[in-house]
Amino acid sequence: MAFRFDLIQGSASGPRLGRFHTPHGEVRTPAFMPVATRGMLRGHPPTILRPMGVEMVLANAFHLYARPGIETVEALGGVHGMLAWDGPVLTDSGGFQVFSLGALDRVHEGGVRVEHPVYGGVVDWTPELAFESQRRLAPDVAMVLDVCPDRPGDRDQAAWAVERTLAWARTQRRLHEKHGGSGRGQALFGIVQGGVFPDLREACARELVALDFDGYAVGGVSVGEDHAARMAGVEASTCWLPVDRLRYLMGVGTPLDLVEAIARGVDLFDCVFPTRAGRFATALTWKGRLHLLNARFRDDASPLDPDCPCEACQSGVPRGALRAGFKAREILPMLLVSQHNLFFLQDLLRRVREALAGGRFEELREEVRCRWPPREPGPRPERARFKPGARPPRR
């Protein structure tokens, strides 16, 4: 069997140790995937990944469809060739991009009409097109196209998102079976939606499990809700998912969120947080965040993190120089800090796995809670209220 999840330790809704087997190798879980949205890790070569412990990478099917195009990626050897990466790859289908590009009001029964992010005009991004694009990109794991609500506390919108997500999941599950299922070398994961409402998440999870996907993701979190609501959404989803299938929490990457989601039974993560924070002069350390633009770092001759063995910290570039480089808009500081942040999260997940194996997870969890307290989101700007079922605008 090309795909298999072995549960080594843990249960349905508590912290778990496992191994996810794919045609391109195995992934020790819990694990964090760096994000190469457009087929490249922003600012970093793929050669840095293995040494820091990365075993799986994420790319985005919608953005690769937009540029350079599916045909070009195929000619380059599929998404693995595009990434120059021989390990496992997962592609997101574009559901979150529909939310982030402001196209929720253009969702219709058969898909969503979204602005082409490169050339303008409109793309009718359907479940069929999302599935076929990922089939041709040839990642190890493809995600179903779902609807990610931008107001997780709005019950009407959350219920509508579940309805559309399940309808599209059925379509893509049939296509997956038609093309040979996971036996052809590609797994298909379903995505649990439901906002902050436990009953909606339960209903969505139960129907997805009945469709028997190769793995399951928790979606629709980290879209503006606070930490407590985010974790409640995770807990309301994982408890209904099979013990013997991988669970993937989409788009979550702060140390606190990672550890608390692991405590609730999540195995796999991705997020742009570590590299984006690095590009904006924020370093992740075991003493918390370091905001390198702060004046106190002006004359600081110490390395980025004196206790870190990563190449960025061992390079000898002092904090004061990094601060000056950020001020001058140099590229090197952004690369060094984002590389350090990627290493930090890989090291955190390695420590989590060791703590789980050694029965010390709660000690590590408490340390992370102390070092990384929740940072609650500020008020969101008012937007026109979305009306589920509204007809998309004429084009």
CA distance 356 to 362: 9
Give the contacts of 100 (CB within 8 A, at least 6 positions apart).
none
- Host H or E run for residue 249: strand 247-249
Contact 350, 53 (CB under 8 A): yes
For 182, other C-beta atoms within 10 Å of its C-beta total: 21
Whether 267 is a known active-site residue: answer: no
Is the alpha carbon torsion for 70, 74, 80, 81 positive or negative? negative
CA distance 338 to 330: 14
Whether 154 is a known active-site residue: answer: no
Instruction: Check 150, 154, 270, 305 and give the catalytic one.
Output: 270
Strand 268-270 with 57-60, pairing:
unpaired
Give the contacts of 181 (CB within 8 A, at least 6 positions apart).
none
Instruction: Check 92, 140, 154, 257 and give the catalytic one.
Output: 92
- H-type alpha helices, the chain: 61-66, 70-75, 78-83, 95-100, 127-137, 155-178, 198-211, 227-238, 255-262, 273-279, 311-314, 319-327, 332-358, 361-371
Whether the link from the prior residue into 309 is cis, omega within 30° of 0, is no
Contact 219, 192 (CB under 8 A): yes
Q: What are the catalytic residues?
A: 92, 270
